[in-house]
Amino acid sequence: MDIVADLVVQIHPHHHAPENMTLDSRFEKELGLDSLARVELFSRIESAFNLTLPERTFAEAQTPRDLLRVLKTLKPSEVADFNVVAAQRHLGDAILPHGALTLGDLLEWHATRHGERTHIQFYQDDGNGETITYRQLHAGALKVADALQRHGLEAADPVAIMLPTGADYFHTFMGILLAGGIPVPIYPPARPTQLEEHVRRHTHILENCRARILVTLAEGEPVGRLLMSLVPGLKHILTASELSRSTGNATLPALKAQDIAFLQYTSGSTGNPKGVILTHANLLANIRAMGVATETSPRDVFVSWLPLYHDMGLIGAWLGSLYHAALFVVMSPLAFLARPERWLRAIERYGGTLSASPNFGYEYVLHRLQHSDLEGLDLSSWRLAFNGAEAISPKTLEAFTERFGAHGFDKHAMTPVYGLAESSVGLTFPPPKRGVVSDTIERDTFLHRHKALPAADEHQALRFVSCGTPLAGHQIRVVDVAGNELPEREEGRLEFQGPSSTTGYYRAPEKTRELFDGEWLGTGDLAYIAKGELYLTGRIKDIIIRAGRNIYPEQLEKAIGDIVGIRKGGVAIFGSADPKTATERLIILAETRIEDADEKHRLRIRINEIAADLIGTPPDEIVLAPPGSVLKTSSGKIRRSASREAYEKGEIGKKRRMLIWQVSRLFLMGALPQLRRITGHLKASLFALYSWLIFLLLSPTVWLGVVATPGDNLRRKIIRASALFLAKSTRTPLNIKGAENLSSIPDTCVMVVNHASYIDGLVMSTVIDTPFRFVGKAELAGSWLIRLPLERLHAELVDRFDFTKSVSDAQRLCDVLKKGHRLLFFAEGTFTRIPGLRSFHLGAFKAAVDAKVPVIPIALRGTRSILRAGSWFPRHGAITVTIGEAIEPNPSIRGDDERRTWKEALSLRNKARDFILRHCGEPDLTQ
C-alpha cells in the first residue's frame, strides 16, 4: 500500500492517498492510474519484492487487493515484510474525519468507515420510523447526482430545493453537492392564502442565484410551474422520485475547501433575502468549533424538529451530527407544531443529549402542554438545550427550567447561544453545563446613555441573557457608529471575524460592501460585552429613536403579547415617519380576534399603560388587526420593516385575495418572462437546426474529398476550408492567442490539447495549418464511415481498455515521432458535460521523452458550451485557442534509464497541464 500511495502522490500531488485509499480502490477510476502508470506500479512491485508477476496480472488486476491475492499465491519468501494488517490499521486510526476538506469528503468518510451505522432516525409516534445509514445516504446522493448531471447540471450551478423534512431532502442536498452543484434550500408554501407572497420571495431568490433546476415533491410541481413562469432562467422542475430512479453512475468532480458549499438565504426580516455564501471550509470550521465548545462526540443523540432550510436546523443540527457521527433524530416542524410533546418524547425515547430551538419553541411547549401530556416524561438524558436564532427571554428560560425540572431536566442544560448565517451558524457559546447567566442593568441609564450598569433595584431594571464567548478562532467586538471599539458594558454595533465568516452575499456586491468594516463583519445587532461575555440588546434596524432615546421593540412586544385578547407572538412595533413633520412616530400593531368596540377600547388603554410603564412614552398609534396581519419570516421572526411597509400602504386589515386571484396575478406577471423564454428557446432551436443543416450539407462532400482525393495536403485543405466555412456560416468567433508560436512549431513534436467537446478535432484542423496526425481511441475504427477518413488522414489509434496493448502502442507512437511526424493528443482521453480539466494520460509525454521531441501545449476554451457530451443541440458561442511555447525534454536522458524517463514524462505532463489549466477557463477537477 505504501508503494501504491507513493506513486499516486507522485502522479497526483493533490490526491490525499493515505487518507482515502483502501485495498479496494480502483486503479483507474479512483486512483487515476492510467495504463502506463499501472505498468510503472507493477514494475515497482516486482522490484520491491524481488519477484515476477504473472502476465495475467497486468490485464486482470484492477485494485490493490487484486495484486495482494496474486502475491499470496507466490512463495512465502517472496512476499516477506508485506504487512497488510498494519496498512489497514493506519486507515482506521481516526474517530472523526478531522482531515475532511469538504462535505462530500465527510459523507464518503463515514460511508466507507462505518456505512451500516444509522445516521438519521425519523421520529413517528408509534414504534420506530424510517432510518438512513451512512451508506444509504451516500448511495441515494449518488443517484441524485447522476440524475442532475443528466439534466445538464454543471459545476457550481445553484439548485433550489423545495422539499419538506424527509429522506428525499437529505439525499437531494448531498446529491447536489456530490455533483458539484450548490444547494439552495427554500421552503414549501405553508398556506394557500400566502401563495403570492411566497412565490414573490422565491422569485427573488431564484433570480438572484440563477438556479436552472428546482427539486420538489410531486405536490409542489404547480408552485414550481408558477416560479418557472416568473423566472426565465429556471429550466427544469424535477421531483425527488424522478431523481431517485437514476443509476447513480455520476461523474463526481473533485471539490475544494474554498468551493461554495451552499447558499443560505437570510430570512428576509428586512428587505429582500440575501444569499450568504458559505464554503466547505467555512462550514467545517464552524462545525468543528461548535463540537469543541459543546464536547460533542459519536455518543451524542441530536433530536431536532427545526426546518432544514434554516441554518440552525441544517448546519447546527444535521451537518453537526453528520460530522460527529452522532445519531440524528428528526421530525418535521409541522409535526412539532401539531403536537409539541413529540419533541420531548423523542428526547426521552432515543436518549437525546442535544437539542435546539428558538425561544418561541420553549415558550410554545410551556403554554401548549398540559400535565397529562407529560405523564412519566423523563428528560434526564438532555445534556445541552440550545436556545438561539431569536431574542432570548430570561422568563422563558426560568419557566421552562422550573417546570421540566420535575421531569429530570437539568437546569444547567439550558444553553443560550448566538449565531448568524454570515458566520455559518454559530458564533458564541457558553461553557457546557453552566446554565443560564443573566445581567440585570439600570433601565434609564441604558436607554439614555447606552451604558449597561448593574442595577440595585430589579423593579426598574432590564435583564439580558449571556450568550457566552466566541468560538475558538473567532472574535467579536462592539463599536460605535464611527467604528471605534467600545469598552465593556457600553452598547454598540456587534461585529465579528473568524474562519466561519462568509465572503459576502451572492451576486450582491453593494450588500457585501455594507457587510464589511475592514476585516470585520457587521451582524446588524446591538450588544454589549461584560466579563468577556456577549449580551444582545436588539436589531439595529428595529431600534426606534424617539425624543433622543432608543426604544427596543422586543420587550414591549412580549409584554403586549401577554395581554388577554392579544395574540401571543402577534405584535409588531416599528417607527413610521410622519408625512407632514418627518418625525418618527411609534406604531404598535397587535393582532386580536376581538371585534367588539368596547373590548377593543379596553385593549388600547391597557397597551398604552404598558407602553408608558416600559418605555416612558405612549405610542402614537395603536392598530388592532385581525390574525395574520403581522408579517413573519419562514422561521417565525417578526418582519417589522415589512409590517411597517404594509401599514404605510394601508394594507393592514385587508382581506387577502382569494387563491384564484393570487394565481391569476402571478400568471400575468409571468407572461412577459415566459414570452422571453419561449423566444430565446425558439432562437436557440433555429440556430441548432441551421447549424445541423450546414453540417449535413458539408459532410458528404468532405467525406468523399478526404477518402477519394490523392495527396495529404489536399485532404487537409479540404477539412480546414470546410471547418472555416462552418465557423463563418454559424458566426462562431475563433480567436487564436499565441499565434506567433504556430509558425515555430517543430516538424516533429507532440501537441497536447484539452478535450471538451465533439467539435475539438474540427477546431484543431482549422487552427493547425501544418501536417499532423491525430491520436485517437481504437473504438473509432469500429465504424467504416469513421475508419476510412481516419486511415486516409493517417490517424494513430490506441486501445484504451486492452491493458496488454498499452506498452506496444506507446512504442509505436514513439516510432512515428522518430520518423519525423507531428502527433496531436487529447491528453484527457475523454470529455464529459461537467466543465473542468481532468487528469492527463501519460502516453503523450512518455512518447515525447522516448523520441526526444518537444511538447506543445494548446488550450481550448468555449467548445464545451457549444456542443456538450451527450447532447446534439449546438448552441452559439465563441472559441479561443491558446498556443503555448514548446517544452523541451531533457536530451541527456538515456532510453534505458526508466526512472529518469518516468520522472521526465511526469515533469512534461505537469508543465503542459499547468499551461492549459491557466488558459482553458475551467476548474481543476483533480484538486
Whether residue 378 is predicted with pLDDT greater than 70 in this model: the reply is yes
- Lowest-pLDDT range, 127-141, 267-281, 387-401, 503-517? 267-281
Residue position matching grid coordinates 445581567: 439
Q: Are 384 and 413 in contact (CB under 8 A)?
A: yes
Residues 745, 888, single domain; the answer is yes
> What is the CATH number for 316?
3.40.50.12780
Whether residue 18 is predicted with pLDDT greater than 70 in this model: the reply is no
Residues 16, 136, single domain; the answer is no
Which residue would you say has higher pLDDT here, 741 or 44? 741
Instruction: Name the domain boundary from 500, 517, 541.
Output: 541
pLDDT for 303-330, tens place per residue?
Answer: 999 999 889 999 999 999 999 999 999 9
772 — alpha (psi -120 to 50), left (phi > 0) or beta? beta
Residues 751, 811, single domain; the answer is yes
pLDDT for 49-59, tens place per residue?
Answer: 877 777 567 65
Whether residue 653 is predicted with pLDDT greater than 80 in this model: the reply is no
Domain assignment of residue 599, yes or no: yes
Specify which residues 386 forms β-bridges with.
356, 415
What average pLDDT does the segment 51-76 reach?
Answer: 75
> What is the CATH number for 738?
3.40.1130
Domain assignment of residue 665, yes or no: no
Q: Are 190 and 182 in contact (CB under 8 A)?
A: no
What average pLDDT does the segment 625-649 reach?
Answer: 79
Q: Are 765 and 881 in contact (CB under 8 A)?
A: no
DSSP assignment of 714-781, as one string? HHHHHHHHHHHHHHHHTT--EEEESGGGTTT--SSEEEEE---STTHHHHHHHH--S--EEEEEGGGG
153 — alpha (psi -120 to 50), left (phi > 0) or beta? beta
- Lowest-pLDDT range, 723-727, 749-753, 920-924? 920-924
What average pLDDT does the segment 890-907 reach?
Answer: 84
Domain assignment of residue 198, yes or no: yes
The pLDDT assigned to 81 comes to: 34
Mean pLDDT rounded to a whole number for the chain: 86
- Lowest-pLDDT range, 424-428, 454-458, 730-734? 454-458
The pLDDT assigned to 878 comes to: 93
Report how far residue 563's alpha carbon sits from residue 887's, in angstroms, rounded to the nearest whole number: 82
Residues 534, 561, single domain; the answer is no
Nearby residues of 299 by Cβ (< 8 Å), 6 or more positions away: 326, 353
Structural domain boundaries, residue 447: 438-541
Domain assignment of residue 403, yes or no: no
Residues 831, 858, single domain; the answer is yes
Whether residue 222 is predicted with pLDDT greater than 90 in this model: the reply is no
The pLDDT assigned to 859 comes to: 96
> By CB neighbour count within 10 A (0-12 exposed, 13-18 middle, 19+ buried), where does 282 fall?
buried
The pLDDT assigned to 585 comes to: 80
pLDDT for 381-432, tens place per residue?
Answer: 999 999 998 888 899 999 999 999 999 999 999 999 999 999 999 999 999 9
Report how far residue 246's alpha carbon sits from residue 261's, in angstroms, rounded to the nearest whole number: 23
Greatest mean pLDDT among 359-368, 478-487, 513-522, 542-551 = 513-522
The pLDDT assigned to 190 comes to: 57
C-alpha cell at 869: 457530451
pLDDT for 128-177, tens place per residue?
Answer: 889 999 999 999 999 999 999 999 999 899 999 999 999 999 999 999 99
Entry pTM: 0.65
The pLDDT assigned to 667 comes to: 67
Domain assignment of residue 904, yes or no: yes
Nearby residues of 471 by Cβ (< 8 Å), 6 or more positions away: 286, 289, 290, 292, 293, 426, 427, 428, 429, 498, 500
The pLDDT assigned to 220 comes to: 81
Res. 91 pLDDT band, cuts 50 70 90: very low
Instruction: Name the domain boundary from 37, 67, 91.
Output: 91
Alpha helices (runs of H) in 159-267, residue ranges in sequence order: 167-178, 195-209, 221-230, 240-244
Residues 585, 712, single domain; the answer is no
Residue position matching grid coordinates 484539452: 754
Res. 86 pLDDT band, cuts 50 70 90: very low
Residues 836, 696, single domain; the answer is yes
> By CB neighbour count within 10 A (0-12 exposed, 13-18 middle, 19+ buried), where does 264 fall?
buried
Report how far residue 677's alpha carbon sits from residue 683's, in angstroms, rounded to the nearest whole number: 10
- Lowest-pLDDT range, 231-235, 311-315, 476-480, 650-654? 650-654
Residues 168, 149, single domain; the answer is yes
Instruction: Name the domain boundary from 308, 338, 368.
Output: 338
> What is the CATH number for 457?
2.30.38.10
Residues 76, 148, single domain; the answer is no
The pLDDT assigned to 417 comes to: 97
Q: Are 186 and 213 in contact (CB under 8 A)?
A: no
The pLDDT assigned to 88 comes to: 28
Residues 133, 239, single domain; the answer is yes
Res. 14 pLDDT band, cuts 50 70 90: low
The pLDDT assigned to 89 comes to: 26
Residues 176, 285, single domain; the answer is yes
Specify which residues 239 forms β-bridges with.
216
Domain assignment of residue 371, yes or no: no
Domain assignment of residue 694, yes or no: yes
The pLDDT assigned to 214 comes to: 95
Whether residue 362 is predicted with pLDDT greater than 70 in this model: the reply is yes
Return the SS3 of 641.
helix
Whether residue 77 is predicted with pLDDT greater than 50 in this model: the reply is no
Residues 219, 310, single domain; the answer is yes
What is the tally of structural domains in the chain?
Answer: 5
Domain assignment of residue 408, yes or no: no
